[in-house]
Amino acid sequence: MGEYLNKDDILIKRDGEGKLLGIDVNIEFLKDKPLVQIVPMTKGQMNKYDKLFKTSTEEAESEIIHNHCVRPAFTLAEAKQIRYDEGYATALIIAIIAVSSGSTQDDIMKSFLVKKKDKSEKPTGAEIAKDFQQTKEN
């Protein structure tokens, strides 16, 4: 027989006030794979963003980056101004979803690309987040 499961190993880490703690992650899909600190989304937050994606993908994407990327931290206004030409917003969304779901960034991207018909076009973070929510529901 093995050891009992240690719940401290499986619970989302929180500080003394109950706030979620950030996790250091390298952004796999950006040049030089820079480090960021991300606070994972809870299941309730994922459901909230799913509803928001149905009305405004830009708003949902900005809100996710604002609420879950803590180092560097972005105001909501800054999150709305993140450049898309180098894939920054998409890379951040992929990293946040990966940390929140226990997947790798590569698995999130591969899962999305398998379903995407035109693979030559780069996906947006909003498309990937929508796809993740639909996959989670099935």
Residue 7 domain-assigned (yes or no): no
Domain range for 94:
20-137
Residue 9 domain-assigned (yes or no): no
Looking at residue 20, the DSSP 8-state letter turns out to be B
Residue 12 domain-assigned (yes or no): no
pLDDT at 15: 87
Instruction: Specify the higher pLDDT residue, 80 or 114.
Output: 80
pLDDT digits (tens, 9 = 90+) for 60-113: 888 899 999 999 999 999 999 998 777 888 899 899 989 988 889 998 888 767
Residue 29 domain-assigned (yes or no): yes
pLDDT digits (tens, 9 = 90+) for 98-109: 998 888 999 888
Place of tokens 């006030």: 17
Number of domains in the chain: 1
Residue 77 domain-assigned (yes or no): yes
Residue 59 domain-assigned (yes or no): yes
Residue 105 domain-assigned (yes or no): yes
Residue 1 domain-assigned (yes or no): no
